[in-house]
Structure 1
Amino acid sequence: MSTQESSSIINPSVYLNYLSTEEATIYEVGRNINLATLGALIWDILSSLPDERKLIQGGRGSTVLIAYFLARPSALAMVILSVLEQTGPVSNCKLIAVISAAFQGISTATASYLFLRRVHAVYFGSKGVQYVFNFMWFVVVCASCSLFYDAIHGYQEIADTKHCIRQQDSVALPIAFGVPLWFDAFVYYAILHKILSVHKQGQKKGWRSFFCAPKGLPHFSRAVFEGGQQYYL
């Protein structure tokens, strides 16, 4: 924004003075959502520390374990940077946005990989299904990389207030977040379909069956069913 416009504003240090009423409302709502997400994520991570300590002590090194311990810190870093963009001070908005996009890509790739491994476990004898979901996971990773385009071309500083705003609308953002959502939905459906097909053969399956674990499921199948629900939600 120009220097002349800045000088005409009574309090140029307040970033909301440079935004329209609609833009300011969207900006403030987005900031509050990010702050709430940050608080919930920190609480979730702290509450899981005892279980994660047991995983480190008793678990062997594996790609699943590595993915698990990369997903959560990278998601936390991404949310922190998103909050910083809207609360300031930020000296380089594009740089922060690019770093945030990198953490978002790592978080999405690793979290989706954990869900992918569930498909491999449930469809352990169906190589064709595994290959299909492997390809879908690769598409998820590529879609997440589209955030870099949005980070480079879509963010700028609000005048000289050290606050960042996303100005340019593009298809990068819905692709980066929409494709992983569809992937998780397909994985969730595939896992539940397999469990219900094995344990409820010959019985009619309605929509309720995909949200409520049927009675009579073995303990392991019920754990996979409920664990998939928790992850997807």
Structure 2
Amino acid sequence: MAMVIAPAFDFARLPDVLPNPSTPMAFLSPEVAFQFMIKSYVAVGMTAVLLWDILNHLPDDYRLLTKYPIKVPTCVYILSRFSVLLYTIACVIFDTAPITHCVRVDQFLDWSFPIVQSSTSLLFVLRVCAVYNNSNLPRTFFGITWLAVAASTLVVSLGMEASNIGTTRYCIYTRNTPYIALTFIVSLLHETFVFVAITWRLLQNTHVDCNLRRGFRIVVFGHYLPIFSKTLLQDGQIYYLTTITTSLLTVILLYLPFAPSYKILFTLPNIVLVNIMACHVFRSTKLGRRCADESMIDTAHLRFNTVAATRLSDPILPLSSLKRPRPRRPRRNTLPKPEIFIAW
């Protein structure tokens, strides 16, 4: 699903002699050829971004594999990481290389896409289950929504068809049905449920009474939250902002009535960017880096007022004149400890 859609063309009406019969652009109209090249550049650029991110975080991945026990979340992380890499490289090969067997490569892309999408979504299913201490109700609900995401990815194999460009060995997609947007819509709904569930759980971990103003500051800025809870909230905000932006752009382009060749232009950037952010959130929580950085408080410049520092001329008020703070019912902290996430 990484290529531009070519309009139906009757090759029998081609002139007997083409300027460059071995060049695939000779079989396309100037407009389609331009869009074809733009799509190829986007695929190459996103592959470069993904490779840079993987190489940049190789030390972190090495720590995950050597310093921490390898459990299901870590295996899902590795699967998601490398499946997206292989999928992106296959898209670039499909776009730029003379591979001849276009249908076979298209089938590989169609059937590897469910692994790519499902493994990335599963990372946050495991995250929300950990936030809720693996309670039965959240685990069942988000297990069902994740299965819906996995099932929706199968429509891609039914809505895309590829063929060779003219008589060349290069490939192009010849059919693109709008209902392939279903997979991105279902994935967006799933991520919305996950984000709302985690945010709601973190709201119960505040140390102040919530009203409309404080609730807004908690949800948006993470105020009144412990450091670890604030980190969970902010990481989720970054991931959800990336997901909702890229998914909405992908769906909008798929349903645009004009520029049919650009309908699937943003599908590969959506896959790559969402995976990068999901893996970033997993590493930050697993390694506990942000929690350690933010928990270090510099007390060198703190100043304290003592009784000896007060002036003798100041009036001394009895303790009974002081207004006692209103007692607040203690709220039980039901959020898992950071060690639970690190022990994934």
1:172 Cα deviation (Å)? 4.7
State which drifts further: 164-173 or 78-87: 164-173
- Given the alignment, which residue of 175, 180, 188 partners 2:182? 175
- Given the alignment, which residue of 142, 160, 163 partners 2:151? 142
1:116 Cα deviation (Å)? 0.3
Q: C-alpha separation between the residues in 2 aligned to 1:181 and 1:171?
A: 17
- Given the alignment, which residue of 214, 217, 224 partners 2:222? 214
1:39 Cα deviation (Å)? 0.7
Q: Which has the larger radius of gyration?
A: 2
Q: For 1:168, what is the secondary structure of its paired residue?
A: strand
CA 1:63–1:115: 2 relative to 1, 3 Å: same
Indicate the residue corresponding to 1:116 in structure 2: 125
The structure showing larger relative contact order (alpha-carbon pairs under 8 Å, at least 6 residues apart) is: 2
Which ranges in structure 2 are unaligned for 5 or more consecutive residues? 1-9, 243-344
Q: C-alpha separation between the residues in 2 aligned to 1:223 and 1:43?
A: 25
Q: For 1:91, what is the secondary structure of its paired residue?
A: coil
Deviation digits for residues 80-139 of structure 1 (CA, Å, limit 9, x no counterpart): 111111111111111111212233221211111111011101223642232111101001
Which ranges in structure 1 are unaligned for 5 or more consecutive residues? none
Q: TM-score, normalised by structure 2?
A: 0.61
Q: For 2:172, what is the secondary structure of its paired residue?
A: strand
Counterpart check, 1:184 vs 2:171: no
CA 1:182–1:162: 2 relative to 1, 3 Å: farther
Q: C-alpha separation between the residues in 2 aligned to 1:174 and 1:7?
A: 40
* Runs of 4+ residues over 4 Å off in structure 1: none
Answer whether contact 1:34 1:82 (CA < 8 A) is retained. yes
Indicate the residue corresponding to 2:50 in structure 1: 41
CA 1:77–1:3: 2 relative to 1, 3 Å: farther
Counterpart check, 1:52 vs 2:58: no
Q: C-alpha separation between the residues in 2 aligned to 1:102 and 1:88?
A: 20
Answer whether contact 1:77 1:103 (CA < 8 A) is retained. no
Answer whether contact 1:75 1:103 (CA < 8 A) is retained. no
Q: For 1:61, what is the secondary structure of its paired residue?
A: coil
Q: C-alpha separation between the residues in 2 aligned to 1:74 and 1:125?
A: 27
Q: How does 1:122-161 map to 2 (within 5 A)?
A: 122-124=131-133, 126-151=135-160, 154-161=161-168
- Given the alignment, which residue of 163, 166, 170 partners 1:163? 170
Q: For 1:165, what is the secondary structure of its paired residue?
A: strand
State which drifts further: 187-196 or 34-43: 187-196
Q: C-alpha separation between the residues in 1 aligned to 2:50 and 2:72?
A: 23
1:158 Cα deviation (Å)? 0.8
Supply the AA of the counterpart residue of 1:190.
A
Aligned length: 229
Q: C-alpha separation between the residues in 1 aligned to 2:209 and 2:102?
A: 55
* Structure 1 or 2: more helix by fraction: 1
